[in-house]
Amino acid sequence: MTATTPVLSAVDVTKHFTVRSAVGARSVVRAVEGASLDLHRGRVVALVGESGSGKTTLARVLAGFYAPTSGEVALEGVPVRQRRGRVERGYHKDVQIVFQDPFGSLNPLHRVRHNLERPLRLHHGVRGRAELDRRVRELLERVALTPAEQYADKFPHELSGGQRQRVVIARALAVEPKVLLGDEPVSMLDVSIRLEMLNLLDRLRAEDGLALLYITHDIAGARYLCDEVVVMYAGEMVEGGPKEQVIADPLHPYTRLLVDSSPDPGRGARDRERLFDADADGLGEPPSLIDPPSGCRFHPRCPFAMDVCRTQAPPRTDLADGRWTRCWLHHPTQETE
């Protein structure tokens, strides 16, 4: 394995869902279209987008819950085979996922200990009370739930939201995965404890060399944790690259809209009228994924829309510094014309 092989990658992944209405009419929801993503050891990629942008669907494809409609997921360069929509069991030894809702992802009837012991038994064949106790204590200490003895025998309802999410992370770590997919892992936690969670993820990335996908709608939080940002809009990836460049100087008009709309405490209250000076009014809303606009999916809202945007989907344009975007504005043909 070369150093450049990504641990987990999505190659041109498309996921469509077929839905039937009550009267039997079929329609296709184009949830993710042509998404490509590489996760490297010890690096964090943030997938940023609004609700309905397809980021959760992509995470679930990567987690092996859905088979992609086309394209493939590759684990260390090897395409992952799926049988009847389910990945092989070994896959989850390497790829684990943390869900958004810490209240929903722990069975209320099981103690913390049970949640951590199961993966230890299943994946590492740990047997024997003493050995299990030791490993459980280690895991709890790694997610800073100390003293561990105090937490091991608690039920989820006895823990706060942040503590539960730590247990969820510890449970995923028990498998000793190579990739951790975080589907908005902090968005349901209280503001004051989100950072501790982000710092924890950062530490795990540094200590264990985990490859981390951090899905979020909070672009400031993404900037804090990640190395690289990928922006999704209406099921398509529109821009990606190193975080500072992408956020400081967005190429795609949607990224710009997203960055400008995000609250920034650093901006302060100094120029409120300008901050909310809304020509944002006529900007419309994300399109339906059943019948997305032709061409670039952002064109109905784009202030720079050209004729070509309405008819042809923009291809990926790679630029300097590892940046890329899908926008006709930055396509080489545009610059020569």
Map residues 178-217 to x or -, x wherever contact with other proteins holds by CB under 8 A: ------------xxxxxxx--x-----------------x
DSSP 266: G
DSSP 328: G
CA dist 181 and 63 (Å) reads 7
Minimum distance from residue 214 beta carbon to other proteins (Å): 13
Give CA separation, 241 vs 18, 83, 238, 304, in Å.
Answer: 32, 34, 11, 22
Neighbours of 62 (CB within 10 A): 28
For residue 131, give the amino acid letter. E
Q: Which helix (H) or strand (E) holds 112?
A: helix 112-124
Q: Total residues contacting other proteins (rule CB under 8 A)?
A: 72
Minimum distance from residue 332 beta carbon to other proteins (Å): 29
> Helix, strand or coil for residue 283?
helix
For residue 135, give the amino acid letter. R
Residues 29-58 that bind other proteins (CB under 8 A): 50-51
Minimum distance from residue 333 beta carbon to other proteins (Å): 29
CA dist 244 and 226 (Å) reads 10
Residues 101-120 that bind other proteins (CB under 8 A): 101, 104-107, 109, 118-119
Minimum distance from residue 306 beta carbon to other proteins (Å): 22
User: Does the footprint of other proteins cover residue 166 (CB under 8 A)?
Assistant: no
Residue placing its CB nearer to other proteins in the complex, 221 or 295: 221
For strands 44-48 and 211-216, give the pairing: parallel
Q: Which span (70-78, 92-100, 304-312, 326-334) binds other proteins, by CB under 8 A?
A: 92-100
Neighbours of 37 (CB within 10 A): 21
Choose which of 70, 146, 160, 333 interacts with other proteins (CB under 8 A): 160
Residue placing its CB nearer to other proteins in the complex, 10 or 247: 247
Q: Which span (25-33, 39-47, 268-276, 328-336) binds other proteins, by CB under 8 A?
A: 268-276
- Based on its alpha-carbon atoms, the radius of gyration of the chain, rounded to whole angstroms, reads 21
Residues 271-300 that bind other proteins (CB under 8 A): 272-273, 275-278, 280-283, 285-286
CA dist 137 and 145 (Å) reads 9
Minimum distance from residue 182 beta carbon to other proteins (Å): 13
Choose which of 8, 39, 46, 63 interacts with other proteins (CB under 8 A): 63
Phi, psi of 111 (to 5 degrees): -70, 165
Q: Which span (19-27, 29-37, 75-83, 256-264) binds other proteins, by CB under 8 A?
A: 256-264
Q: Which span (3-11, 67-75, 218-226, 310-318) binds other proteins, by CB under 8 A?
A: 218-226
Q: Look at the block and give the residue holding tokens 């992509």.
A: 58
For strands 8-20 and 70-75, give the pairing: antiparallel
Q: Which span (15-23, 145-153, 171-179, 329-337) binds other proteins, by CB under 8 A?
A: 171-179
Angle separating helix axes 161-174 and 129-142, nearest 10 degrees: 120
Choose which of 70, 131, 267, 321 interacts with other proteins (CB under 8 A): 267
User: Does the footprint of other proteins cover residue 127 (CB under 8 A)?
Assistant: no
User: Does the footprint of other proteins cover residue 247 (CB under 8 A)?
Assistant: yes
Choose which of 16, 41, 93, 154 interacts with other proteins (CB under 8 A): 93
CA dist 222 and 211 (Å) reads 15
